[in-house]
């Protein structure tokens, strides 16, 4: 890929990344509204979200291997276009069954994106791979940190369906722009790769188990945090509390912008394993401090959590992705990133149901305590993650390799 293509690739992938996640932000922000409209409970909606999350993760296995065969650009465009088109289902969603169908369809098509994007970045940006991963994540955060504010504004005025359609149409538009990128020739594996062959890569199994623990806290936090804010600040009027929820989620993504950049730079400078340990420590500390401060100082507790969690959670992503890319042969990377994503978003998808279960049966604090336990498990696993030196600049080759 030429310099012009490389210059356009990361911004467009950043936009695609933000839209991929924005489609799933509407439900947490309007969880109580959706539950009331369909006469359901948080636990039932949480179960639907958990199944969607599992499909979102499981589909990445298909996305990874598909990108190795079909090519990354075509796979990304397909993912964006069909996930965006699936939002049209919500126009006719009059009951929980149709609503669930729409959410599941988005999960199926959106699942193709992450392993494919990580694969193409690892191949095009071979030197300072972690920084490129971080910039991809930063671009995503810049886009979807505004998504909660847009979602709350549109949803408060016209209902939760309108922001769904808005992000869906934007997804279709970005898919068209990505197809117009200059041609890029990268190594593909037309024969296909067995999953067990990839998992046998030295050190990868530890990263996969680590990613299960990450999924078990991340999806739960994403799902119940807006409701946690709403129920801990009952003195705000309805319109104002919706804004407060949006600002809180906005704050996590805003901190994540700095986290993605710092995580990538730290990984390239000090090693991905050290960056992984540091960011995993920060995630656990953020949850602990919020639970410690939420009763005596609720505003302080939420503020500390938003800033520290956003910084460290998003900071771990470039470290993990670059480390996984460095230890895996190039022709296997699409499949590997699909497996890695599945272990987090697929196997970890049970977190939404677990969090909603404990929130409904006990309290939101107990739910967050369970999520804290999962985050501590990830922290412990980060200490036994593999180490790998970054590529030497003597061998710098920022372009793709022809098959």
Residue 75 near residue 63, CB atoms below 8 Å: yes
CA distances from 350 to 27, 53, 320, 354, 394 (A): 16, 8, 21, 6, 45
CA atoms within 13 A on the CB side of 47: 8
Burial class (CB in 10 A: 0-12, 13-18, 19+), 319: buried
pLDDT in tens, 14-31: 889 888 888 887 887 788
Residues 6 or more apart whose CB falls under 8 angstroms from that of 314 comprise 137, 141, 253, 255, 256, 257, 259, 260, 263
**Which domains occur in the chain, in start order?**
8-181+191-383 (1.20.1250.20)
pLDDT for 235: 54
Report the distance separating Cα 276 and Cα 323, nearest Å.
9
Q: Quick one: angle between helices 204-232 and 333-341, nearest 10?
A: 40
Running DSSP on this structure, what letter comes out for residue 392? P
Does residue 388 carry a pLDDT above 80? no
Burial class (CB in 10 A: 0-12, 13-18, 19+), 176: exposed
DSSP string, 354-378: HHHHHHHHT-HHHHHHHHHHHHHHH
Report the distance separating Cα 96 and Cα 87, nearest Å.
15
pLDDT in tens, 103-129: 999 999 998 998 888 888 877 877 677
For all residues of the chain together, what is the average pLDDT?
Answer: 82
Predicted model pTM: 0.69
pLDDT in tens, 218-268: 888 888 888 888 777 765 555 566 677 778 888 888 898 888 888 888 887
pLDDT for 87: 93
pLDDT for 185: 56
Report the distance separating Cα 170 and Cα 283, nearest Å.
32
Q: Coil, helix or strand for 2?
A: coil
Task: Locate 307 and state its tokens.
Answer: 């800033």
Does residue 188 carry a pLDDT above 90? no
pLDDT in tens, 291-339: 888 778 878 888 999 999 999 999 998 889 888 888 887 777 777 888 8
Cα dihedral sign, 370-367-150-102: positive
How far is C-alpha 79 from the geometric centre of its chain's CA atoms?
15
Q: Select the more confidently predicted residue: 185 or 13.
A: 13
pLDDT for 78: 93
Q: Quick one: angle between helices 238-270 and 204-232, nearest 10?
A: 160
Report the distance separating Cα 330 and Cα 113, nearest Å.
18
Report the distance separating Cα 263 and Cα 282, nearest Å.
12
């Amino acid at each position: 890929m030429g310099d012009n293509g490389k210059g356009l690739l990361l911004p467009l992938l950043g936009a695609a990344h933000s839209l991929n996640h924005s489609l799933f932000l509407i439900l947490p922000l309007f969880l109580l509204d959706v539950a009331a409209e369909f006469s359901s409970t948080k636990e039932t909606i949480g179960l639907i979200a958990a199944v969607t999350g599992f499909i979102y993760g499981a589909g990445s296995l298909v996305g990874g291997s598909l990108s190795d065969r079909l090519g990354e650009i075509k796979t990304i465009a397909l993912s964006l276009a069909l996930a965006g088109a699936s939002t049209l289902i919500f126009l006719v969603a009059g009951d929980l069954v149709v609503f669930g169908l729409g959410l599941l369809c988005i999960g199926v098509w959106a699942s193709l994106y992450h392993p494919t994007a990580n694969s193409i970045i690892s191949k095009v940006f071979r030197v300072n791979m972690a920084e490129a991963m971080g910039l991809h994540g930063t671009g995503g955060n810049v886009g979807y940190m505004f998504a909660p504010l847009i979602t709350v504004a549109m949803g408060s005025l016209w209902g939760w369906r309108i922001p769904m359609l808005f992000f869906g149409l934007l997804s279709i538009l970005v898919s068209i722009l990505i197809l117009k990128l200059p041609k890029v020739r990268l190594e593909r594996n037309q024969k296909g790769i067995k999953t067990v062959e990839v998992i046998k890569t030295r050190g990868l199994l530890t990263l996969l188990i680590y990613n299960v623990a990450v999924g078990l806290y991340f999806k739960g936090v994403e799902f119940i945090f807006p409701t946690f804010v709403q129920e801990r600040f009952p003195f705000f009027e309805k319109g104002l509390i919706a804004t407060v929820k949006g600002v809180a989620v906005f704050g996590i993504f805003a901190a994540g912008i700095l986290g993605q950049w710092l995580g990538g730079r730290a990984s390239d400078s000090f090693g991905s394993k050290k960056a992984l340990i540091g960011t995993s420590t920060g995630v656990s500390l953020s949850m602990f401090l919020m639970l410690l401060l939420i009763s005596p100082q609720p505003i302080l507790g939420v503020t500390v959590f938003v800033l520290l969690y956003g910084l460290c959670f998003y900071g771990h992503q470039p470290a993990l992705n670059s480390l996984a890319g460095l230890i895996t042969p190039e022709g296997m990377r699409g499949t590997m990133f699909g497996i890695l994503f599945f272990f987090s978003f697929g196997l970890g998808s049970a977190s939404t149901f677990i969090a909603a279960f404990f929130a409904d049966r006990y309290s939101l604090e107990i739910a967050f305590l369970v999520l804290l336990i999962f985050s501590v498990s990830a922290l412990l696993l980060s200490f036994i993650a593999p180490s790998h030196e970054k590529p030497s600049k003597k061998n710098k080759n920022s372009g793709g390799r022809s098959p």
